[in-house]
Amino acid sequence: MPKIKINDIELFYEVYGKNNTQGTIVFFNGVMATASSWQSQVEVFVKFGYKVIVHDFRGQLKSDKPQGPYSFKLHAHDSMLLMKALNIEQAHLIGTSYGGEVVLTFTLLYPEMVQSIAVINSVSEVDEALIEGVNEWKRLAQTYDGEYFFRGMLSSVYHPTYLKNNADLLEKRAKQFALIPKDYFDGQIALYDTFMNDLNVTSQLHQINVPVLIVIGENDELKPRHFSDIMAKEIKHAQYVIIPECGHVTIFEKPETLNPMLLGFVLSQK
């Protein structure tokens, strides 16, 4: 399992695509996810000649989980050092949810390393309703019961149609979560605290000058559309796409819509 020492911790990462004639894509995970969550998207970009980097943030499944909370600037710094260590001078950054929020922070801090960004089901600030939703996840994580945790968060992140059509798959994943290491939940709690206490970049979004794609699931209950409306308003040149009948986890729920959209956006930067 490839890891690299960054900022006194070890980060898990993987590199795909030897024929990197087009450039480099770096994916940034959602909070509960891990690097393998991007498998569908990785396959598309590798096929079209991109080098692809996936990694787990500090606090996530396969990386170290030092005591938190952390900060979005620290996540961005970790990711910047990882890119430097892999000799990546510039890349297209794609992030979902928490990962999209790290992408925004990274772009504000290190714009010279960014060719374009895509943020999916993300926000630039929080409100009381969003904090309460994440606090509920925190309460679930504090039980250290993987299956209970997984079942408890399902309705807040997936569209009802996806839940119905993928009941067997989600049941299998619930059983797998029963086996997840206990330190996973320590990391989750630190990440939730970071999100609730450290995210407020709306006033800085006008500084972003690279090409931007904002994607939101129309029925995202966790991070509703009005948060993406805010980002689209503040980043005047951003492309903005709303995907119907889709909840919070667009990368799983609508890959047939999302993947060609992401690829087309990145290819258009040529």
Q: Report d(CA 190, CA 188) in Å as an integer.
A: 5
- For the chain, the farthest-separated pair of C-alpha atoms sits apart, in whole angstroms, at 48
- Domain ranges for the chain, please list them: 3-124+199-267
State how far the alpha carbon of 177 is from the alpha carbons of 17, 57, 148, 238, in Å.
Answer: 30, 19, 9, 37
Q: What confidence tier does 30 reach under pLDDT thresholds 50, 70, 90? A: very high
Q: What are phi and psi of 116, to 5 degrees?
A: -165, 165
**What does the DSSP assignment read for 179-229?**
TS-THHHHHHHHHHHHHHHH---GGGGGG--S-EEEEEETT-SSS-HHHHH
Q: What is the pLDDT of residue 270?
A: 75
State the pTM of this model.
0.97
Q: Using CB atoms within 10 A of its CB, is residue 112 exposed (0-12), middle (13-18) or buried (19+)? A: exposed
- Report the phi/psi class of residue 69: left, alpha or beta, with left for phi > 0 and alpha for psi in -120 to 50: beta
**Architecture of the CATH domain 3-124+199-267:** 3-Layer(aba) Sandwich (3.40)
The 3-state DSSP class for residue 242 equals strand
Q: What is the pLDDT of residues 211-248, one digit of tens each?
A: 999 999 999 999 999 999 999 999 999 999 999 999 99
